[in-house]
Amino acid sequence: MHSEVFNKQTALPFCKQLLLKKHIVEKDVPDYFKSFKFVKEKFEISCLNSKLHKYKIDISTEASWPCADFLRLDDSQHRAIITLMTRKLALIQGPPGTGKTVVGLKIAELLLKNDHIWRKQDNQGPMLLLSYTNHALDQFLLGIFTRFRKTDAVDIVRLGSRSEVEILTEFNLTAKRKADIHKKEEYSTRI
């Protein structure tokens, strides 16, 4: 029975990209490229440079992207952002200090600022962030938290061992479960 499930190409997210083709790289476009909202609207990219006030571009056309210097990025970061925004699956890798977290945060911010375009309905579908170490995860989540703490636009749930960053402990799955149980108990005592 398990083999039947894994034989179906749609059974596992990113199965086609990760499991079936060893050395062939295709430029699969993200699903949001195919949506009516994406065709009609452009992505607002002012989060990449504070001098870009409500600056919108067609992210699917590489020529519409401002140059690396204008976005305050080096060439590899610029290429990574364009690749990450125009591919269904892309990975960021590199030695320490090369800007992987910076690029990841900019991508997350771009997606969250434009979620009305790529999400099918309000608050539908999470954004999944994976990290090899807890330290890298904490650094990334701390960056998301500091950029969006003034709004309720981001609901963070952290999976992994205990965070060493005090601010992030409230986002730990265990802490969220306890808070949810406490709310339910408080609500039931009122009734």
pTM of the model: 0.73
Q: Please provide the size of the chain in residues.
A: 191
Does pLDDT of 39 surpass 60?
Answer: yes
Beta-strand ranges (E) seen in the chain are: 43-44, 56-57
Neighbours of 92 (CB within 10 A): 17
CA distance 27 to 17: 10
* Segment 148-175, tens digit of pLDDT: 765 555 678 888 887 888 888 888 888 8
Read off the tokens for 116: 């009305």
Place of tokens 């963070």: 156
